[in-house]
Structure 1
Amino acid sequence: MVKVGIDKIGFFTSPYFIDMTELANRRHEEPGKFLIGLGQKQQAVIPPTQDVVTLAANAANKILTKADKDKIDTVIFGTETGIDNSKSAAIYVQALLGISKHARSFEIKQACYGGTAGLQMAVEHIRLHPDSQVLVLAADIARYGLQTPGEATQGGGAVAMLVAAEPRILEIEDKRSFYSDNIMDFWRPLYRRDAVVDGHYSNNVYIDFFKQTWQTYQRDYHCNIDDFQAMAFHLPYTKMGLKALRSIVNQSHHPERLLAQFESSRVYNACVGNLYTGSLYLSLISLLANSETLQHGDLVGLFSYGSGAQGEFYSGRISEQFDRRPLKTDMEAMLSKRQKLTISQYEEMYQAGLPLSGGDKQFDTASDHSPFILEGRHEDQRIYRQN
């Protein structure tokens, strides 16, 4: 069987962030509640000149060549921060990037699971059509509202993955397990910009779904935890993944190895925050870039979760061609260039953006030097520009 998986991967987030200690102090909370209890150090703040379309386009722009754009025959966009109830965000990105108009483009929604659904669809497509390529996008802006219990788990960004045969990063195995149930742990009605969440309930469901999918995977594929060199998790905040790992790590003869790899996998998430569909894949980037012990051929487990709810556990092997150094250099350069906002500046930026009530809006774009930006809205149409 042809090897299929992630050939290229890119990440983009806002050039602005806040410090979680400063947020805790402003909210009259102990900083340890955010730094240790949640495992978060910083949080990306998305300006009004960026939305999921521009975030995804900027992420993909970092990895795609002209040859890639000509070869891509499918664009799949996983998001729960949709910009339209009808038209997909994928169509906008396809046009902004100049991807072949002969490609299929569509959007997938199932809370934070959409990116994984898109990745698995892409893998199956390449197995049938090994000469083609698929662009998978996972982009979101996590919002719970100012001075709410969920405020400390906000953030945003985008991951772009080019899926192809003979991949140079991660070979996706044809092994996966699922678990789903109709529950109300997190949702966002059409009339709200901010999500509604039952935090404690969602935490419990997340761990339950992880155990369900992990146990099914073990049973179906006759494996054990020590077959895996590392595990990557959906990380709306990094402590959540650690709780899930701790629920099974006693099954391992080498628990310290898995725990050390987890620390590598949460470095960037702790500095960016929650990006919903992209959170698992930012964690994967963090693992690949920061682990000094992963080797070619090592098996990595991946747990994806989307509230409402859908869980999936699947596996991949590090490609023989993988080199972590360019990925680490790019990530650290981007994160180091960000500007720290005061809490007052963050609050002002948070409340900017396109109003749900409609109407024309023109943004001041002078300070956003990203390759792709959102200029505003005119006659109910979003206006995008390439710098």
Structure 2
Amino acid sequence: MISVFVRGWMFTLSAGRVNARVLRTGVTGYHRRPRDQIHGTSMISVGIVGATGYTGVELLRLLADHPGVRIRAVTSRGDAGTAVAGMFPSLRGRVDLDFVEPAQARLDQCDAVFFATPHGVAHAMAGPLLDAGVRVIDLSADFRLRDAELWARWYGQPHGAPQWLGEAVYGLPELNRERIRSTRLLAVPGCYPTAVSLGLLPLLQAGAIDPDDIIADAKSGVSGAGRKAQVGGLFAEVGENFKAYGSAGHRHWPEIRQTLAEVAGRPVGLVFQPHLVPMIRGIHATLYVRPAGTERDFQALFEEFYRDEPFVDVLGPGAHPETASVRGTNVCRIALARPVESGRLVALSVIDNLVKGAAGQAVQGMNLMFGIPEETGLGAAPVFP
């Protein structure tokens, strides 16, 4: 192992991979870390719009410990004046801010603004921020689909900012890393699309499967439904229960299909079936595909495709990835199987829906946009049990 210190970053070369972290010698706590700069590198000033849901608080958790970020403002129309740590005691001593009204947050003075909001909010607010030179990172679905009419059909309202769709970059780093580096409008992928797409990218890029015959069977924890009060999210409804939903069509279907078609270079045939399972965090996607052409070593294909990816872990033959193994992390774990006499290949993909499926992927994208080593702020080990 070789360590090299360059301009405030410690680069560690190990097993063919370069890892990077901030050298924090003498830094003993969040409050003691300089707020305006670290080791001569300017801090990124960020605002968060709508941080009262599960995705928002996860974003706050990650950004509070990010060595290159200063959280400038956290907005909420309904909870303005409330201390962030009052609503989320887990952030006591880490985020010393109150929620403020968006109009009073002076978001146009931030370097980047995250939207952890319901669909349609970023449509109205993104344009003025972009015009002011602010980079926008949207965790809603507002800019994921490139077709405004398709978006309106699936989200039940007209698209409010179609003029920005051509500039928005779909924020899956494993697919669009170089485009993310140069964009100022990042559309963070959905949680189901992340788990499904990562399990299929190597196969489609290599032309190794029939693109007309893809089945994505996915299960999600209840936090994926958001923090709003609803009968279907009650403990008595979810506990000891397991159910499918969205069988006739789910909003993530066109997003997944758009990504897979881009990689395949043609439309794909996709059946997507989501399920709700009685756990808080996690997505498990079981992907059924039919190999095409000559037989090949699929294990080697995945290992090579993801060899230099810091947040994708390809497990060995016979493995079964578990959602608990990625809880609280930005990691996707993948394994492959060949069911007996089925003619199918099965890819198993697991993520934490709130991290790699939302907030962590947004921070990963921010790092790329600002030229920071990609893994910064995202190196925590999984929480177990």
Structure holding more helix per residue: 1
Larger radius of gyration: 2
Normalised TM-score (structure 1):
0.27
Q: 1 or 2 for the larger relative contact order (CA 8 Å, sep ≥6)?
A: 1
Normalised TM-score (structure 2):
0.27
